[in-house]
Amino acid sequence: MSGAEKVHVLPRAADLGLIGCHVCRLVCRQPPEDADDMACPRCGSALHRRKPATYTRTWALLLAAFMMYLPANFLPIMRTASLNDVDDNTILSGVKELWINGSADLAIIVFVASIMVPMLKFLVLVTLLISSHMRTDWAQPQRARLYRLVEFIGYWSMLDVFVVALLSALVRFNVLSRVEPLPGVIFFGLTVVLTMLASMSFDPRLIWDSRDSDD
Amino acid sequence: MSTTSLEALQICEECDTVHRRRAMTRGEVGKCACCGATLEHFHSLNPNTMLALVFTAFIVFVQANLWPIVTLGLNGRHSSTTLWGAIITMWQSSAQVIAVLAAATLFFFPLVKMLSIGWLLWFARQRRCAPGFVPIMVTLHYIGPWTMSEVFVLGALVAIVKAKVYFDVVADPGIYAYAVLTVLITIFARVDMRELWDMRMKDSA
Ligand SMILES: [Zn+2]
Ligand SMILES: [Zn+2]
């Protein structure tokens, strides 16, 4: 088996009987068996070898996020009303409007932040969950890099939410011109929060727990 | 292994590989040899400089929140808003979820972050361990990913561009204060929290 050659040259915490605190990163000696509720001597947080219930939590949060993501994209997020015109904007129509009005660069930024990033997060986290569950050593460095990418860009999706909040507070010229938030923006905000929670509850250490490193 | 050797070790947060800690030179970033995650970067934590930085950030933060961000003009009428103006509008337009999210990620969490780091550094400067050190450090760990000032600055830019099509738009001092704040926050976000933890270990020893 080719996996036999990929021996971990570097020791992992479990091999040395060590455990790292997930909160303050203190290196502790691994508690004796069945002592799973040991607390970190420095910060008092519970010590875990892996984040607790990582698969269940991540899947559940991801599913909830996806259920919010659909209305977030199909429902309008903002209503612009002027004297003789009422217009409901979805995320996509907002991007189109920026594009038409000659701000192609911002249109691309908003498109990436609001539409591409959440989709990327779903795809990446599902891939990570399934591949880690299979305990494969396939593309480990790449998967680790994808996880970091998702962690790093995730919160930028809040962009559109802040745009709607600012425009609603600014455009208040009574009957002449008004902007109001619509329910889509709430679903969108919840999508962002839930995907952030999902990626936080996924434990990237699982990527490296392939079968041959354990045996 | 003896007890002392534990302090010379560090465990990668992303793949659980054990590394030996070593002295870092200026500008150096330690990467995990297994997964490539950042293990630690060089940071000469000079409490005095950091404290001055946190204090500056706090003043800029107050101004960013008091000053209007953008002003719109339409047929001689004007309308401007601050961050709290936007939060209150969202609350009143039955988007309370968004109001709470914005208040937390743009106001309360950044504020808590600045005040706590300032508090810890104030005592670190006197080589003392701040009262409430452990709960404060744990809180900082959890609110870390939930501050979004930089996203808000970009959001204001997008809002300005969108509004420009229909209104006269003037960017107000608040948005510049926010931009400066973002830079300051990025600088002290680089404070290695572990360095603060280690400082405490030395004190109690
Ligand atoms: Zn700890
Ligand atoms: Zn690593």
ipTM of the complex: 0.89
- Distance of residue B56 Cα from the nearest chain A Cα, in angstroms: 25
Distance A50 CA to ligand 1 centre (A): 14
Cα(A91)–Cα(B156) distance, rounded to whole angstroms? 16
Determine the average pLDDT of the residues in A164-177.
88
pLDDT at A71: 94
Domain locations in chain A as residue ranges:
1-49, 53-211
Cα of B197 vs centre of ligand 1, distance in Å, is 9
For residue A5, give the DSSP letter.
G
More confident site: B196 or A62? A62
Cβ-Cβ contacts under 8 Å, A202 against chain B: none
CA distance B17 to A204: 12
pLDDT in tens, chain B (205 residues): 444 478 788 899 899 899 888 777 777 788 888 888 888 877 666 778 888 888 999 999 999 999 999 999 888 888 999 999 999 999 999 899 999 999 999 999 999 999 998 998 888 888 888 899 999 999 999 998 899 998 999 999 999 988 888 888 988 999 999 999 988 888 777 666 777 787 765 554 4
**Better-scored residue on pLDDT, B39 or A72:** A72
How much is the pLDDT for B4? 47
pLDDT band at residue A6 using 50, 70 and 90 as cut-offs: very low
Nearest C-alpha in A relative to B84: A169
Nearest partner of A82 among B87, B168, B167, B80, judged by Cα: B167
Average pLDDT, stretch A72-96? 90
State the pLDDT at residue A176: 81
Residue A192 has pLDDT above 90, yes or no: yes
For strands B70-74 and B168-171, give the pairing. antiparallel
Q: Longest Cα pair distance anywhere in chain A, in angstroms?
A: 73
Nearest to B16 among A176, A196, A205 (CB): A205
Both tokens of A128, joined, read 């990570």
Q: What is the pLDDT of residue B50?
A: 84
B170 touches chain A (CB under 8 A): no
Higher pLDDT, A186 or B22: A186
Q: How far apart are the CA of B9 and the centre of ligand 1, in A?
A: 15
Higher-pLDDT residue of B47, A12: A12
- Residue B89, pLDDT score: 94
Eight-class DSSP state of B144: G
**φ/ψ of residue A5, rounded to 5:** -80, -25
Over 50: is that where the pLDDT of A5 sits? no
Q: Which of A163, A170, A193 sits opposite B81 (nearest CB)?
A: A170
pLDDT at A125: 95
Q: What is the pLDDT of residue A182?
A: 93
CA distance B118 to chain A (A): 19
Domains of chain B by residue range: 1-42, 45-204
Identify the pLDDT of residue A74: 92
User: What is the mean pLDDT of the segment spanning A124-133?
Assistant: 93
Q: Do B141 and A23 touch (CB under 8 A)?
A: yes
> Hey, is A135 helix, strand or coil?
coil
Question: Residue A139: its pLDDT value, please?
Answer: 87
Question: In the prediction, which pLDDT does A195 show?
Answer: 95
Q: B137 CA distance to ligand 1 centroid (A)? A: 10
Look up residue A9 and give its DSSP letter: S
Q: Pick the more confident residue, A71 or A34.
A: A71
Asked if the C-beta of B101 comes within 8 angstroms of chain A's C-beta atoms, the answer is: yes
The vertex-A195 CA angle with B92 and A119, nearest 5°, equals 105
Q: Taking CB atoms and an 8 Å cutoff, what residues of chain B touch A15?
A: 18
Distances (CA, A) of B136 to A27, B51, B112, B129, B187: 20, 17, 9, 12, 20
Task: Look at residue B88 in the predicted model and tell me its pLDDT.
Answer: 95
**Reported CATH class of domain A53-211:** mainly alpha
Question: Rounded to whole angstroms, how far apart are CA atoms B38 and A145?
Answer: 11
What is the rounded average pLDDT of the residues A45-56? Answer: 88
